[in-house]
Structure 1
Amino acid sequence: MPFLPTGRKRSLSAPKQPVAIIGAGIGGIAAAVRLAVAGHRVTVFEAAGSFGGKMHQFELPGGYRFDAGPSLFTLPGLVDELFRLAGRRPEDYFRYERLDPITQYFFADGTRLTAWADEDRFAQEVEAKLGVAAEQVREFLRGSRRAYEATAPTFLHKSLHRAATYLSRDTLRAVAELPRLGLLSTMHRRHQQAFPQDARLVQLFDRFATYNGSDPYQAPATLSLIPHLEHGLGAYYPEGGIYSIARSLVQLAEELGVQFRYHEPVEEILTAGGRVTGLRTNRDVYDFGRVVSNMDVVPTYRRLLPQQPAPERTLAQPRSSSALIFYWGVEREFAELGVHNIFFSQDYRREFEAIFREQTVADDVTVYVNITSKKTPADAPPGHENWFVMVNVPHDQGQDWPALQQRTRAAVLRRLNQALGLDVASLIRAERVWTPPGIAADTSSWGGALYGSSSNTRLAAFLRHPNFSGRLEGLYFCGGSVHPGGGIPLCLLSAQIVADLINNS
């Protein structure tokens, strides 16, 4: 008989009662650690054969290793905090370095720009390459910092769906700041006003909308706080790649007694009398009074709670963008490239119109290339590199993805060939592709949307699904499809919010 984590006769009112977590993605792993530290017995159910969710790794023939999903790492203190909560030294499990430079930018007109970690040096680089005064750049980055510091403590670290959140002075101050921070304008308009003399710099800062799968021509200017994450707080590279984040936290979780049950997909969340009572998996039925879903909120309701009324308005919010990713083993090293590289299209507005209005991919695309072998040489054979090549695309709505994949691959190669002055296709020695339908199938992300809903409206942050159920006692949510959003830092913060809700209940 399978292990019954709760014990059939355990009182649901007992303190520190066991908790089930659905999904071993980064949010679920972090929630498991926090709850285990607080004294809960935690069991994580995962449909796949291992942990990580989108944060998994694989190898291609020839000796090329890839991080499959997330590639940018910011706010490393959120990971360190988990080890310290458990009384461990983070450096005994997990190490990282600050990137300098952060990103190499290649514009369609042939201009190249380096984003240095030092804000002053970056501002001087912009002045030298683009002709925009360094002080303009510094002032913009100061504004980005002010917006982050004014809003992050409330809008990222707390539940927006609890009345108590709005009773603090800090929250009232943050809400009062929203109009001044650009809630009524757009990111693109904010950037255009900051840098009216150079469309290239506007494009550079517009791209930060893609960090939560949104459109800078629609997303509120409040999101211009995102550049502060990189330029103010720093971008980092974990030793061994992004996968090492999940690996180190699973090691910690297991040391704390968390049980991971792989190849055991949850088929239903069981309920009775307005509360959660357990789970049914492909193996057995388990008693639990508290369940945390780290699964995308749409399939959580549609598949796991088919008898319960769903929050249709929330589930109907416009989805974020997805990605079309080409993983290439490349038979050459490129000194002009770094860990993060952006090759901009000529017409950025057209790209986003295609994604969000036409649900297709433009003929000319912006290309992101991540190369971890720059920092971890073992990720590729000597003299070679492992290229993670990504294009922002719409989430899956039944498009002809084989045709879009073929067309987009050709557009990617055109952009790279033009920027690098050679035939990139002739250097590709190994290849794999991840499409939105593949992302949806592999990670249960609805339509392959990487960040759940988009942030293309001024109230999007308030319309994301809360970290708890308003209908079912004992049901909680974490991960990229709920508050505060997608990406590694926000998933870690969602785990913090959920753990606080459970521990304080």
Structure 2
Amino acid sequence: MTKKALIIGSGIAGIASAIRLAIKGYAVEVFEANSYPGGKLSEITLGEYRFDSGPSLFTLPEQVDALFRLAGKKAEDHFEYEKLDVACHYFWEDGTRLKTYSDLNQFAEEVETKLGEPASNIREALRKSAFMYDSLSPLFMNRSLHKFNTWTNPHALKSYLRMRKLGIFSTMNEANEKQFSHPKLVQLFNRYATYNGSNPFETPATLNIIPHLEFNIGAFFPKKGMHDITQSLFKLSEELGVKYHFGQKADRILVESGEAKGISVNDHEIYADVVVNNMDMVNAYKTILKDQKQPKLLLNQPKSSSALIFYWGIKRNFPELDLHNIFFSDNYALEFEHIFKRGTIYEDPTVYLNITSTHKSDDAPADSMNWFTMVNVPNNQGQNWDQLIAEAKRNIIHKLNRILKTDVEPLIEVEEILDPRTIESKTSSARGALYGNSSNNKFAAFLRHANYSSSIKNLYFCGGSVHPGGGIPLCLLSAKIMSEMIEG
């Protein structure tokens, strides 16, 4: 008799879990509160402009390819992407501009020419980043940290001997200040803390593992946009027989005698052999698991930062802009103090522009651009967001005007806004935090929920709020770790 699996939520980890369990022979059904799949990895259309609404950086594409290969298909027949020649364009108020080329030698020369930083420092930093990745990824990214055999396998034992070299005992900023002489380069490498919603002045230097993904492996762009990650995997899952129920919000997980038996949807009970939760862990325990034992230590951990995004259709082309663009704050430390200590938005925020029309021309009309305009902000703690948004918009526009020598506001043809409140309501992310619990202490990796329940049999977890963390690659790996725990 075919076993049945129910998945709550169709974020990218939920879809990946559905694919993996269907391949294992399960009859899989997915219940999604929204009317569309993908969670944060979705899209919006405003007039003639299309925007990827959430994650905009694509790394480790092999994690997507692997799902097609598991299904016996050629990934390139279903999902196409290209490697970027330039990962990002950086801008500072004093007129300094820098390109992070995918070619390591070209990037090192750019840094030496523009900033006077020895090219050897770049090469050494990225060598260390690769060393961290090779040492830690098999342990922290590909295995459960909550199983005893993870800590006794040969790779783990080898990693114990490398602890001092892995950045556990210093902060990201401290490590980068030792590595680089120019403060702008320190700032550039500190930015990678924001990839999981953390503070570089507090998070461990182990997060210097992240540049390896972007520089040594590469940054990529799906030819049909980031939303095509969702669409291609969603289509694959349907081809494998996965059934989706949109607009169907789970009321609770049915637990009998310490075992998950199914879920309740609109007071209708649906039974299964396995239940997988892709909903934010914190909100899941507050709602669909509210009658069960609460992991208070995990639930009370500080949350990651959130985002304020303005989707702007811009009636002009800016040739100096590319797919990824960063306009740095002149006081990075103070910006993070505002986000994590004061719970507000700094008046001189670092601004990120993602412009997919530079690579996918039909995302905007001719001679126009689609600006995904984002600043890092605190998670929702009841602030006066309407006031903060109005102030932030003025500050963002003034900053872009100064650096680009233009007047942005008259160029804005269409606009939509996403803030921590709407992130929470659309994606069930606790407080609108983008990455679940923050990573602002050396034990953060161990303070994420496991990919299974230790108290409820046959209940599993995936997604950015559980191990190994947030972001597309880690969400896909959470599905891999989870599915390997389930017998076919």
**3-state secondary structure, aligned to 2:36:** coil
**3-state secondary structure, aligned to 1:167:** coil
Determine if contact 1:345/1:415 at 8 Å carries over to the other structure: no
Query: Displacement of 1:283 after TM fit?
Result: 5.9
Determine if contact 2:251/2:267 at 8 Å carries over to the other structure: no
In the alignment, what sits opposite 1:9? none
In the alignment, what sits opposite 1:275? 259
In the alignment, what sits opposite 1:112? 97
Letter in 2 for 1:127: E
RMSD of the alignment, in Å?
Answer: 0.9
Q: Which residue, out of 148, 161, 166, partners 1:176?
A: 161
In the alignment, what sits opposite 1:162? 147
In the alignment, what sits opposite 1:240? 224
In the alignment, what sits opposite 2:464? 480
In the alignment, what sits opposite 2:44? 58
Query: Displacement of 1:313 after TM fit?
Result: 0.2
Q: How does 1:363-402 map to 2 (within 5 A)?
A: 363-402=347-386
Query: Displacement of 1:177 after TM fit?
Result: 2.1
Q: Which residue, out of 42, 63, 73, partners 2:28?
A: 42
Q: What TM-score, normalized to structure 2?
A: 0.99
Letter in 1 for 2:185: L
- Counterpart CA distance in 2 for 1:414 and 1:349 is 21
Q: Which 5+ residue runs of structure 1 have no aligned equivalent? A: 1-13
- Counterpart CA distance in 1 for 2:14 and 2:473 is 13
In terms of mean alpha carbon deviation, does 275-284 or 80-89 score higher?
275-284
- Counterpart CA distance in 1 for 2:99 and 2:302 is 34
In the alignment, what sits opposite 2:83? 98
In the alignment, what sits opposite 1:130? 115
**3-state secondary structure, aligned to 1:328:** strand
In the alignment, what sits opposite 1:139? 124
**3-state secondary structure, aligned to 2:287:** helix
Determine if contact 1:55/1:69 at 8 Å carries over to the other structure: yes
Determine if contact 1:55/1:243 at 8 Å carries over to the other structure: yes
In the alignment, what sits opposite 1:350? 334
Q: How does 1:202-221 map to 2 (within 5 A)?
A: 202-221=186-205
Any idea what the Cα deviations from partners look like across 1:442-474, whole Å, max 9, x if unmatched?
Answer: 000000000001111001001111101010001
Letter in 2 for 1:156: M
Q: What TM-score, normalized to structure 1?
A: 0.96
Q: Which residue, out of 201, 225, 230, partners 2:209?
A: 225
In the alignment, what sits opposite 1:292? 276
Determine if contact 2:452/2:460 at 8 Å carries over to the other structure: yes
Letter in 2 for 1:404: L
Determine if contact 2:9/2:31 at 8 Å carries over to the other structure: yes
In the alignment, what sits opposite 2:6? 20
Q: Which 5+ residue runs of structure 2 have no aligned equivalent? A: none
Any idea what the Cα deviations from partners look like across 1:127-184, whole Å, max 9, x if unmatched?
Answer: 0000001011111111111111110011000000001111201012223323321101
Query: Displacement of 1:252 after TM fit?
Result: 0.5
Letter in 1 for 2:427: T
In the alignment, what sits opposite 1:446? 430
Query: Displacement of 1:106 after TM fit?
Result: 0.2
Q: Which residue, out of 425, 444, 453, partners 1:469?
A: 453
Query: Displacement of 1:285 after TM fit?
Result: 1.1
Determine if contact 2:355/2:372 at 8 Å carries over to the other structure: yes
- Give yes or no for the alignment of 1:150 onto 2:122: no
Determine if contact 1:159/1:467 at 8 Å carries over to the other structure: yes
**3-state secondary structure, aligned to 2:117:** coil
* Count of matched residue pairs: 488
- Give yes or no for the alignment of 1:200 onto 2:181: no
- Counterpart CA distance in 2 for 1:400 and 1:246 is 33
- Counterpart CA distance in 2 for 1:209 and 1:398 is 25
**3-state secondary structure, aligned to 2:37:** coil
- Counterpart CA distance in 1 for 2:466 and 2:300 is 13
- Counterpart CA distance in 1 for 2:152 and 2:185 is 40
Query: Displacement of 1:289 after TM fit?
Result: 2.6
- Counterpart CA distance in 2 for 1:151 and 1:185 is 16
| Residues 328 and 421 (structure 1), Cα distance of their counterparts in 2 relative to 1, 3 Å cut | same
Letter in 1 for 2:226: I
- Counterpart CA distance in 2 for 1:128 and 1:503 is 55
Letter in 1 for 2:16: A
- Counterpart CA distance in 1 for 2:289 and 2:26 is 24
| Percent identical | 49
- Counterpart CA distance in 1 for 2:267 and 2:98 is 54
Query: Displacement of 1:59 after TM fit?
Result: 0.5
Query: Displacement of 1:488 after TM fit?
Result: 0.2
In the alignment, what sits opposite 1:309? 293
**3-state secondary structure, aligned to 1:341:** strand
- Counterpart CA distance in 1 for 2:42 and 2:265 is 23
**3-state secondary structure, aligned to 2:139:** helix
In the alignment, what sits opposite 2:418? 434
Letter in 2 for 1:391: V
Runs of 4+ in 1 over 6 A off after TM superposition: none
- Counterpart CA distance in 2 for 1:412 and 1:404 is 12
In the alignment, what sits opposite 2:173? 188
**3-state secondary structure, aligned to 1:102:** strand
Letter in 1 for 2:34: A
Determine if contact 1:264/1:283 at 8 Å carries over to the other structure: no
Determine if contact 2:7/2:275 at 8 Å carries over to the other structure: yes
**3-state secondary structure, aligned to 2:486:** helix
- Give yes or no for the alignment of 1:403 onto 2:387: yes
Query: Displacement of 1:92 after TM fit?
Result: 1.2
Any idea what the Cα deviations from partners look like across 1:421-451, whole Å, max 9, x if unmatched?
Answer: 0111111110000000000000000000000
Determine if contact 2:313/2:412 at 8 Å carries over to the other structure: yes
- Give yes or no for the alignment of 1:87 onto 2:72: yes
Determine if contact 2:100/2:107 at 8 Å carries over to the other structure: yes
Letter in 1 for 2:249: P
**3-state secondary structure, aligned to 2:325:** strand
